[in-house]
Structure 1
Amino acid sequence: MSEETSQEHHIDNSKFKSIQGVVTSLCNDYGWINETIFFNTDVISDNVLLNIGTNVLALVEKKPRNHIFKAIKVKAMNNLPEGSEPSKLGRRLCIKCVTSITEDNIYISKDTFFPLCMFSGGFRPFNGDLLLVEYSMNPGTSNMNIHSASPLNSQNMEEVCVTCIDGRNGVVEATMFFTLDSLHTLPGYTLGLYDIVNTTVVDSIQSHYTCRVVSMTPVNSLY
């Protein structure tokens, strides 16, 4: 893994489709949405326990070899972030990947973007981050009006281990990608391999990882 590789990582949103559906079958470690979309239980956001009949949003990828639809992320509709439930006629929710970022705008496709200032707080999206997007369609066109956007899933993880460092990039617990831009500590601190850190992570599609660290504080710098 290298910084150059990370910078050249692009997401093709045409390979994915956001759908709203119902869980129609459920086993210990997998299930089906609308009887046609397969998912593993480890892709459910927020560690929510789903039931048959639960309404969900899913980001779906079509497998080219066998044409099976598989959900790579599932979010329960009754577990949406506060304020994200569409309240006005014609507004809908979908899951989108960030495809590119400019100084002022966030793109979720080649032609669809919204201003960075739409995000509050310190969160800044990164290529591949999964967003929960509230939108409406312009009548008579295929153009989307973006009304709000937020990370699909955000969780805090305490006292986890840095397992890889490569230049300005790295990995926590062998599963969560980070860049040093996410590091918050005292001036002069150098992050080391196997350091213990507290993190905030979001769902993100990276080359080999499904989560990205957006904030990281070394535990030993807190004392």
Structure 2
Amino acid sequence: MVPALSTSTGEPNTKIVKGTVTSCGDHYGCIEDRVFFSIDAMIGPLCLRVGDKVLAFVEEDPLSYDLRATEVCVLVEDDRPREPYSKIHEVSMCVSQVREDNICLADEYYFYLDSISKAILGFMPYEGDWLDIEYSLEQESSKITIHSLKATKCRRLQEVCVTSIHKRQGVLNHTIFFTFHSLKCPVGYTPLVGHVVNVVVVQSIRPNYNWRAVSMTPVDKLYRLGS
């Protein structure tokens, strides 16, 4: 009997899967005897071993229904008793600054964006993004420990149009902005003005816009060839 996988919604045609490594060779491995991955998909410096708990971005082949992980990271679960000052809080906060290795929230708290928190969230945060967070506050510090992390609002939109691009930023349907720095696209695809795309958007506040696209897939596969 195949063990059940714990999943949550991720990118289009993708699931974020929590599972156990059941086999691992020099160049490939398998999660729960169902999800294949190559070592190149591994995020972070740790080496995988059989029995490791992992989070993975998993794509399903629409024809064969085979499951393949495109990104895999070790899930470190801390079951130690928490001190009284580590009481878990729930709050919605806006990202005020994104630095090289940490995320600032409402100019008050910060946390390190490691491979685990990024895999749980499913996208790279950007200034103005609203996040729902479960966290505990480290004693006498503004650094927080993240226990749960997700976009406050997230939607999937079908067949929207790229209406403008300027340098490393662009706009969809004149109402949704995106940045190339934090946008996930299929390999080899670059959006251009006039392209019709399917997108995942999150609530993100900046002048004239309330939504940010975090992933984009062209409706017409010919776009991938630059036509």
TM-score bucket (shorter structure) = 0.5 to 0.7
| Structure 1 vs Structure 2 CA RMSD | 2.7
Task: Map Cα deviations across residues 98-147 of structure 1 (whole Å, 9 max, x no partner).
Answer: 111122111114452111122315411001100101134567x6857343
Q: Distance in 1 between matches of 2:210 and 2:175?
A: 7
Runs of 5+ consecutive residues of structure 2 not aligned to the other structure: 1-81
Mapped contact 1:129–1:204 kept (Cα < 8 A): yes
The higher-RCO structure (CA 8 Å, 6+ apart) is 1
Distance 1:177 1:131, change over 3 A: same
Mapped contact 1:136–1:144 kept (Cα < 8 A): no
Mapped contact 1:135–1:144 kept (Cα < 8 A): no
2:127 matched to which residue of 1?
Answer: 127
Q: Distance in 2 between matches of 1:142 and 1:116?
A: 17
Q: CA deviation at 1:204?
A: 0.4
Mapped contact 2:138–2:145 kept (Cα < 8 A): no
More strand per residue:
2
Mapped contact 2:110–2:144 kept (Cα < 8 A): no
**Residue 102 in structure 1 maps to residue 114 in structure 2:** no
TM-score with structure 1 setting the length = 0.52
Q: CA deviation at 1:186?
A: 4.5
**Residue 184 in structure 1 maps to residue 185 in structure 2:** yes
1:154 matched to which residue of 2?
Answer: 154
Q: Distance in 2 between matches of 1:183 and 1:92?
A: 30
Task: Map Cα deviations across residues 141-170 of structure 1 (whole Å, 9 max, x no partner).
Answer: 685734332211222111111122212211
Runs of 5+ consecutive residues of structure 1 not aligned to the other structure: 1-87
Q: Distance in 2 between matches of 1:204 and 1:144?
A: 23
Distance 1:103 1:137, change over 3 A: closer
**Residue 172 in structure 1 maps to residue 172 in structure 2:** yes
Task: Map Cα deviations across residues 17-45 of structure 1 (whole Å, 9 max, x no partner).
Answer: xxxxxxxxxxxxxxxxxxxxxxxxxxxxx
Q: Distance in 2 between matches of 1:157 and 1:222?
A: 20
Mapped contact 1:196–1:219 kept (Cα < 8 A): yes
| SS at 1:97 equivalent | strand
| SS at 1:210 equivalent | strand
1:213 matched to which residue of 2?
Answer: 213
Q: Distance in 2 between matches of 1:104 and 1:190?
A: 26
Q: Percent identity?
A: 37
| SS at 1:99 equivalent | strand
| SS at 1:192 equivalent | coil
Distance 1:196 1:135, change over 3 A: same
2:113 matched to which residue of 1?
Answer: 116
Q: CA deviation at 1:177?
A: 0.5
Q: Distance in 2 between matches of 1:200 and 1:166?
A: 21
Mapped contact 2:130–2:203 kept (Cα < 8 A): yes
Q: Distance in 2 between matches of 1:128 and 1:92?
A: 21
Q: Distance in 1 between matches of 2:142 and 2:112?
A: 16
Residue 119 of structure 1 aligns to which amino acid in structure 2? Answer: K
